[in-house]
Amino acid sequence: MKNKGLFFILMVINALVLAACGSDNSGQSGSTESSGKSDQKWTEVQEKKELVVGTSGTLYPASFYPEDSDKLTGYDVEIMREIADRLGMEVKFEEYGVDGLLSAIKSGRVDMVINDMEVTEERKKQFAFSDPYKYSYSTMIVREDGLSGIEKLEDLEGKVAGGGATTVFAEISRHFGAEVKTYGNVTNDVYLRDVENGRTDLIINDYYLQSLALKALPEIEVTLHPDLKFHPTNSAIVMPKEADTLKQKVNETLKEMREDGTLTKISKEFFGGKDASKKPDEEIREIEGLDL
């Protein structure tokens, strides 16, 4: 059995390159080959009637084990269960540390990944992403006493940030001059207590995840920075680059779930009544000079 956790994400993988040459007939053959490859993953999952999905199981409230329970749940998990059900398939979750999730797609161990994965232009070159199922932005956990000496993002110079080694949040920290202390697949109390006791100064992560982590552990003397909201984000399901038909089926299902209110219902269940499936109204700072 596992406890609730706050964990972080980022990703890398390879792209499919098709070459066409010669006559019109060659071009048609290349088009047929491309179509076949784009349908291959969909055909594969249809035949086995099962979606194998990578997730961490430690990211509260997206993918986690409730206290005293051995059943995986969370916003992302329940969205994926609903998608699989509407596609007439079973779903099997495979758990990996955040830095291993995308490698699992590359190796073919999973068909897709759902774990609050942020969509970036660089990653879109290497993966297929569904339409977003969650919209958010980044915030910062700091000590209650003095806000860890941070008034603005530029004050991260010389500070120590806790996080995963290959996450967007780590990149933001480094961009502003912070040192990043990395962790394995640990639960959120480890991160928060390190900020409280001064081993680290801050944690940058998703607004919804950090808000709920603080609510779950009110005894730890840390807080969300009241003035810093930055880096608007979209989270989506990640698939192999060439899985066009699978992506289409997933997007069609997500659209149905958005229109019939299912995404809103699941979000409010896991995000304290808030609808993370819709874009926030707040003014969010874009970070310039950082290619994510």
Cα–Cα distance, 36 to 52 (Å, whole number)? 21
Question: What pTM does this model have?
Answer: 0.73
Higher pLDDT, 158 or 165: 158
Q: If you write DSSP's letter for every residue of 52-106 in order, what string do you get?
A: EEEE-S-BTTTBB--TT--S-BSHHHHHHHHHHHHTT-EEEEEE--GGGHHHHHH
Residue 177 region, left (φ>0) first, then alpha (ψ -120 to 50), else beta?
left
pLDDT at 212 over 80: yes
What was the pLDDT predicted at 178? 97
60 burial (CB, 10 Å; 0-12 / 13-18 / 19+) is: buried
Cα–Cα distance, 86 to 58 (Å, whole number)? 26
pLDDT at 9 over 60: no
What was the pLDDT predicted at 36? 58
What was the pLDDT predicted at 292? 66
Instruction: Check if the beta carbon of residue 38 is closer than 8 Å to that of residue 53.
Output: no
Cα–Cα distance, 126 to 129 (Å, whole number)? 10
Token pair, residue 166, equals 């290959």
Token pair, residue 30, equals 């290349």
Give, as one character, the DSSP assignment of residue 118.
B
Q: Name the average pLDDT for the chain.
A: 86
Cα–Cα distance, 105 to 125 (Å, whole number)? 15
What was the pLDDT predicted at 222? 98
Averaged pLDDT, 271-280: 92
Token pair, residue 124, equals 């879109």
Sketch out the chain's domains with CATH numbers: 38-133+236-270 (3.40.190.10), 136-232 (3.40.190.10)
pLDDT at 22 over 90: no
Report the relative pairing of strands 179-182 and 160-163 from DSSP bridges: parallel
Averaged pLDDT, 253-265: 98
Helix 244-259, helix 75-86: angle, nearest 10: 110
pLDDT at 94 over 60: yes
Sign of CA dihedral 217, 221, 227, 233: negative
